Amino acid sequence: MAVAERPPLPLGEAGGEGCVSSRTLESRTHPSPALRAVLSTPRGRGDFTWLLGAAVVMLALCGLPYLLSALVGPSDLERIGTFWFMRDFSQYEAAMREGASQSGWLIHDHFSAEPHSAALMYPLYVAAGKAAALLGVSNIAVFTALEWIGRLAVLGAVHAFASTFLRERRHQRLAVVLALGTLGLDTLATLSRALLDAVGLHAAAAVLPDTINPYLEVSSFGSLLSAPHLMLGLALTLLCAPIYLQAVAGQRVWLAVLAATVVSLSLVHSFNTPVLVSVLLVHAAISGRYAWPAAILAGLAAAPMALYSVLLYQRDPFWSGTYSAQNLMPSPAPWSLPLDFGLVLIAAPLAWPFVRRWPVERRRLILAWIGLGLLWMYLPVPYQRRFALGVQPGLAVLAAVGILEANAWMRAHRVGAVKRRLVNYAVVVAATSTSLLVYLGVLASAASNKPAEVYLWSKPEAAAAEWLGQHSSAADVVLATTEFANPLAGTIDGRVVHGHIVATLHSDDKAALVQRFFSSDATQDERAEILHESHATLVAFGPRERMPGAADPSAQPDLEMIYDRDGVQLFRVTG
């Protein structure tokens, strides 16, 4: 055929568009030679050396909060879990505990007392609990190991993702730094708001935010201090890009690798799979038949967990009422995205004159990756922001090209050294101001528990929880303040009345019920009614519960004290 006899397209023509010709027909049935050439480019020793150095720096920065906590942290408090979204850790701990105690993989919600069916949730942590039991080590030890593995996985995946689209090392390395080191422009916006207020421009100041929103979905920086499933979910998402391009380039073994990666992603972070599959399907539909097998296989690999999640979180009354209806994670308003994504969104458009010359497959994939990711952010569901995980590294890839090429343009047009230096300083400030401030806040919190409470409870509370874990059963329900019940739920086989704003069914009503029980003016009859209504079998009374000025529960006729140490008391309901 005449099509097969055509010579390979030069790199600059790989993305050419025009009338339907033999060249266009070839691009619809075979990947471009430019793509194959790019994917077969060998990696040098310099890449490994740089990546090793980056890993050392990243691990040192991530390890410093742990070191400060161990050396100078509050002596009366005990830290468990992560430094980012700390109160979610007890959910993972509960999954590990239940996973270790059974042969199956379905677990229950320990944050709500209502009867409900077990579900396939947090399989990563269920597996971690089983591994801890098999190895004879603590769940915390396995969780900690997963944290450090996750950090290395994120760094490696971001580098692999950037290297898939960028050929120059300086572009690749800057993309990695931007992806993992930037966190929006909220700090500059907050300072600007204060300045506008100071000069009397209150209407203009009201437009700007007055807080920092460290959303993991719009910045990969926070993932390094968050839970392992988020780190591994981000890493698996990003790895699907180079694996998919290898598969469409005709290397069949990569089809199996892609399927395995998508299945793993669906189990680790199921929110990402529909976004990823939509990107691959759109890319394949535009690119041609040669890309269809990889995209279709990815969709089939994601389908089982996606269908299960839809049925569970939309049809089951309990699970839809908790992890669906109460999982409120709205996306930022579209006009605030430049503040939340920051420099990577602002600089990304500067890359277009260069991106348009990329091989067509890469260009289409990065544009679909970012464009569909942004669209998914505004799907009309309560947890819409979760769909954005992975967009920020895509923007970082384009921003790296845009920033470096803009700098080259200034040199070519003889922009003065002073002006170039000022521009570069502004870029550095825009890139690092918020992430630096937040990181310093994490360090301060590790040392003093402020400005964020990373220590979830006192040592007497932790000791009481350990005792209760050994002297209670799965049938028990503990009534305690939300602050105490949250970490407690991860250490007992039973459940708590209210421990989490998402995981507790009818969270607002339960929170009010608990608050009323521990209020200073609640009568004995009211407390007895609350015990009956909440199905509580145990009551915890420690420093958190005393804060509202509650009366001594020992005076309650239907409570019997079973534990009393260091200011923490536990009671069993006898009525």
CB crowding 278-308: b at 16 or more within 10 Å, else e: bbbbbbbeebbebbeebbebbbebbeebbee
Report how far residue 201's alpha carbon sits from residue 322's, in angstroms, rounded to the nearest whole number: 43
Q: How confident is the model at residue 230 (pLDDT cuts 50, 70, 90)?
A: very high
Residue 566 pLDDT grade (very low, low, confident, very high; cuts 50, 70, 90)? very high
Name the residue ranges covered by the structural domains of the chain. 3-39, 173-219+274-285+292-445, 457-573
Count CB atoms within 10 A of the CB of residue 409: 12
Residue 178 has pLDDT above 90, yes or no: yes
Q: What is the pLDDT at residue 406? A: 92
């009956």: which residue's tokens?
532
- pLDDT for position 19: 43
pLDDT for the residue 105: 96
Query: For 262-306, how does the pLDDT look when each residue is reduced to its tens digit (9 = 90+)?
Result: 999 999 999 899 999 999 999 999 998 999 999 999 999 999 999
Model confidence at 169, pLDDT cuts 50, 70, 90, reads very high
457 SS3 class: strand
pLDDT number for residue 38: 57
Q: Strand, coil or helix: what is 20?
A: coil
Task: Give the DSSP H/E element, type plus range, for residue 562.
Answer: strand 559-565
Residue 15 has pLDDT above 50, yes or no: no
pLDDT of residue 495: 97
Q: Residue 13: what pLDDT?
A: 36
Question: What does 498-532 look like in DSSP terms, one character per residue?
Answer: S--TTTSTTHHHHHHHHHHHTSTT--HHHHHHHHH
User: CA-CA distance, 221 to 170, in Å (whole number)?
Assistant: 20
| Dist. CA 314–CA 25, nearest whole Å | 44
- Tell me the chain's radius of gyration from C-alpha atoms: 27
Write the pLDDT tens digit of every residue in 52-68: 999 999 999 999 999 99
pTM of the model: 0.91
Residue 75 has pLDDT above 50, yes or no: yes
User: Which residues lie below 8 Å from residue 11, measured CB to CB, with a gap of 6+?
Assistant: 34, 37, 357, 359
Cis peptide before 451 (omega within 30 of 0): yes
What proportion of the chain, given as a percentage, has pLDDT over 90?
Answer: 72
Give yes or no for residue 225 having a pLDDT over 70: yes
Residues 351-410: tens digit of each pLDDT: 999 999 999 999 999 999 999 999 999 999 888 989 999 999 999 999 999 999 999 999
* Beta-bridge partner residues of 77: 458
Residue 253 has pLDDT above 50, yes or no: yes
Rounded (10°) angle between helices 139-165 and 391-412: 40
Judged by average pLDDT, the poorest of 108-117, 387-396, 542-551, 558-567 is 542-551
> Which strand (E) or helix (H) includes residue 495?
strand 495-496
- In one-letter notation, the amino acid at residue 575 is G
Give 352's contacts (C-beta < 8 A, 6+ positions apart): none
pLDDT level of residue 37 (50, 70, 90 thresholds):
low
Q: Which residues contact 326 (CB under 8 A, 6 or more apart)?
A: 382, 501, 502, 507
Task: Please report the pLDDT score of residue 39 as a whole number.
Answer: 63
What is the predicted pLDDT for the residue at 10?
36
Which pLDDT value is given to residue 2?
37
What is the pLDDT, as a whole number, of residue 61?
96
pLDDT of residue 250: 81
The chain-wide mean pLDDT, for the chain, equals 89
pLDDT digits (tens, 9 = 90+) for 507-543: 999 999 999 999 988 999 999 999 999 999 999 999 9
Residue bearing tokens 């698996």: 236
Q: Looking at 184-188, 440-444, 482-486, which range is the least confident one?
A: 184-188
- Alpha-carbon dihedral 31, 33, 35, 36, rounded to 10 degrees: 100
Q: Find the mean pLDDT for residues 82-106.
A: 94
Percent of the chain with pLDDT over 70: 92
Predicted pLDDT at 114 = 94
CA distance 457 to 382: 30
Phi, then psi, of 572 in degrees rounded to 5 = -105, 135
